[in-house]
A = this chain, B = another copy of it.
Amino acid sequence: MSIRIGINGYGNLGRGVELAVRENSDMELAAVFTRRDPSSVKILSQDAPVVRADELEEWKDRIDVMILCGGSAKDLPEQTPKCAGLFNCIDSFDTHARIPEHFSNVDAAARKAGKLSIISVGWDPGMFSLIRAYANAILPDGKDYTFWGKGVSQGHSDAIRRVNGVKNAKQYTIPVESALESVRRGEQPELSTRQKHTRECFVVPEEGADLAQIEKEIKEMPNYFSDYDTTVHFISEEELQEKHAGLAHGGFVFRSGHTGENREHNHILEFSLKLDSNPEFTTSVLCAYARAAYRLNQEGASGARTVLDIAPACLSPMSPEELRAHLL
């Protein structure tokens, strides 16, 4: 029997889950839930219905794992605890500072319902967190580095769009190559914010806007840009659509640590992702953890978990014997 997956929210992430389910022969798409008018939502799958989000509860016994595809700012803090009381759930909640609070809300709801939810799944938090946890446990005497990019930061693009005279914008976060190289050489550099990433902005101005003023406002914007070396390019809407519509992203996690009687040996652990589609990779991770949530709940487990609580074997469609024979 297949694991019946529900998708809650059909944007880039929802569409990514739909595609990822197709890659996993032990899963099937049960339904897509939307706050929009279902008749206006066109999905790829022929055999799954699009359902109004307020009918969620009626699907309680027809869905094994609900994958939440809303945003962390407004959707998930409310949606995940609600869904966790009805289904096993996976979300990609990524507001680091609010994870403890979110975890506790989801945990309470899931425990009460006897269901299992895994929160903050994806690549950061997610895969990058795993690497940090493993690497810290293995090399206690060391230093962590995380770099993001090259990729579009939605938050920074939004911030630019709020500047007077800006019609549209995309912002790329780019790791500084010399910083990566220094970490790779084991130099354990102290890196300021400016030394780790640069920011490159592609801005479509309103007609007649004061370009110098826009550039100044962007570069001096506190938190978002003032601590970075920022480049601003003014382009047309056509060029933005043509050259900057991609969803590629990626990043690097390092741990650089010492061992030895006199700390004489250096070890560098590096993990990197180069992703053509941030949402499609993220949702591939979500689906692997959906399998784990289903299995753990079948074994009687309930409550909230994060990727740090889940054994890798739990994600795989292979049996423990196959894993030991082929991947160990």
Contact = CB atoms under 8 A, between A and B. Distances in A.
B137 A130 contact: no
B270 A271 contact: yes
Interface in A159-202: 184, 186
B281 A306 contact: no
- Chain B CB within 10 Å, residue with most, of A129, A141, A265: A265
B275 A267 contact: yes
Interface in A34-69: 44
Interface in A301-328: 306-313, 315-318, 320-321, 323-325, 327-328
A10 to B, nearest CB: 15
A108 interface: no
Contact of A99 (B120, B266, B316, B328): B328
B268 A270 contact: no
A133 B323 contact: yes
Contacts of A325: 99-100
A310 B138 CA distance: 14
A139 interface: yes
A132 B275 CA distance: 17
Contacts of A132: 327
- Chain B CB within 10 Å, residue with most, of A137, A269, A275, A324: A137
Contact of A259 (B23, B261, B264, B271): B23
A106 to B, nearest CB: 12
A306 B285 CA distance: 22
Nearest to A24: B140
Given A138-B288, A288-B138, A324 B99 contact: yes
Given A137-B317, A312-B308, A259 B281 contact: yes
Given A24-B140, A127-B134, A260 B285 contact: no
A317 B138 CA distance: 10
19 contacts: A23-B259, A24-B140, A130-B134, A133-B315, A133-B327, A134-B312, A137-B316, A259-B277, A260-B280, A267-B276, A267-B280, A267-B281, A267-B284, A268-B272, A268-B273, A269-B273, A271-B271, A271-B272, A308-B312
Given A23-B141, A138-B281, 5 more contacts: A133-B323, A139-B281, A259-B277, A259-B281, A267-B275
